[in-house]
Structure 1
C-alpha cells in the first residue's frame, strides 16, 4: 500500500477508534471493531498499527502536530518566550478538547500497574513533546541551564495537562489560569538569576521561561 494511502488509513483508524470510545470507553474498544466499522481487515489495521496502544501515540502525535503548525505560522514571532510557551502548551491541549474524556481514558490506560513496557515509552513521549514545545518557542539555553529549564518546562506542561484532564469547562479557563501563573512564576525566577536579567532601563526578554 502506498505511503499516502497508509497515512490516510491510519488517520481513519484513529478517528474511528476515538468515535467508538466516545460511544463506550477507550478500554472497551477492540481493533476488530475498528476494522469492522471501516470495512477493512485486521491485517489492514496491522499495516498501520502493531497494537492498540500505538493508536494512543498517534492520537497525541496530532497534538504535537498542532504545536508545530502554530510554531510555523508566524503568529508567535512578536511574543515573549513565556507567551509563546503558553500558546504552544494550550495548542497541544486544545487539539484534544473535542475528545477530552477519551484522552483522559487513554492516559489512565497507560498508568495501569504492571504496564512498564507502555509507561517507559510514554515518558519518552513526554520528553519529545516538551522538546518540540521548546523548539517552537525558540528557547536557546544550553548545558546545565538547558537541562534545568527542560525539567521546569516539563513540570509546568504536566501540571497543565493534569489540570486540563480534570476540567470540563469549554476553553479550559482554570487550566489557562494555572498555566499562565506557573509560567509567570518561572519567568520571575529566571529573571532573578545572575546574568539573566536585562540591564537597567532595558526591556527584559529572557531567552527561556
Structure 2
C-alpha cells in the first residue's frame, strides 16, 4: 500500500504533466498500482492532497528554523529565510501549485476558500513561532496582519517569477520586510530605523 507522501508525489507529478484540474484520483491510483480505496484511506478528496502539499512547505519552513545559525539572524532575516524556504519547497512544481491556487479562487468554491483562509492563518502563526516573534495585544494583531499581507504578496510575486532561484522574489520580500520593520519602529517608538541610525551616529561627529 502506498504512503500518503507517495500519493501526493504522484498527484503533483500528474499535475505537471497535464494540469491539476485534469488530475483524477483514479489516475493517481493507477500510477501507483493501488486501488481508489487505498487512496481514500489517506485522503477523503482531491482537495486534501492540496492541503498535504502545502503542509510540506510548512514542515520545510519549521525545519529551516532548526539550522544552527538561525538564532543569530535578525528578525527580518529570520522571516526572509522562513518565507523563501516555504516557497522553495514548492518550487519544483510551481506550475501545479499555481493551478491549485487558481482552483481555490474559482467562484462558487466557498467550501474550499474558507478552509484556505484558515490555512493561511495557520501558516502565518507557525511562521511567527519559528521566527520567535512575541508581540502581544495590539502590536501582535498589527504584526499578524502585516506578515499575512507580505506572505501573500510574496507568494503572488513568486508564482510568476522566472528568475534563477526566484531571486526577484527574494529581493521583493526583502523590500517588504524592510518597509514593515521601519513602520513598526515608527509606530511603536516614534522614529524610523533610518532616523534612529542617524540620531545614534550624530554624537560621533562632535
Calculate the TM-score normalised by the size of structure 1.
0.89
Gaps of 5+ in 2: 202-206
Deviation string for 1:63-85 (max 9, x for gaps)?
A: 00011001122331111101100
Q: Single out whichever of 185-194 and 82-91 deviates more from structure 2.
A: 185-194
Q: For 2:161 and 2:121, locate their aligned partners in 1 and report how far apart those are by CA, in whole Å.
A: 24
Q: Is the 8 A contact 1:13 1:45 kept in 2?
A: yes
Q: For 2:115 and 2:190, locate their aligned partners in 1 and report how far apart those are by CA, in whole Å.
A: 35
Match of 1:17 in 2: 11
Residue 170 of structure 1: how far off its partner (Å)? 2.5
Q: Which of 19, 22, 28 is matched with 1:28 structurally?
A: 22
Equivalence map 1:168-207=2 (5 Å): 168-195=162-189, 201=200
Equivalence map 1:100-179=2 (5 Å): 100-179=94-173
Gaps of 5+ in 1: 203-209
Which one has a bigger Cα radius of gyration? Answer: 2
Q: Which of 74, 79, 89 is matched with 1:80 structurally?
A: 74
Q: Secondary structure at the match of 1:72?
A: coil
- Which of the pair is proportionally richer in helix? 2
RMSD value over aligned CA atoms?
A: 1.8
Q: For 1:55 and 1:169, locate their aligned partners in 2 and report how far apart those are by CA, in whole Å.
A: 28
Runs of 4+ in 1 over 3 A off after TM superposition: 194-202
Q: Is the 8 A contact 1:190 1:196 kept in 2?
A: no
Residue 169 of structure 1: how far off its partner (Å)? 2.2
Q: How many residues align?
A: 196
Deviation string for 1:37-74 (max 9, x for gaps)?
A: 10111001000000000100000000000110011223
Match of 2:83 in 1: 89
Residue 201 of structure 1: how far off its partner (Å)? 4.8
Higher relative contact order (CA 8 A, sep 6+): 1
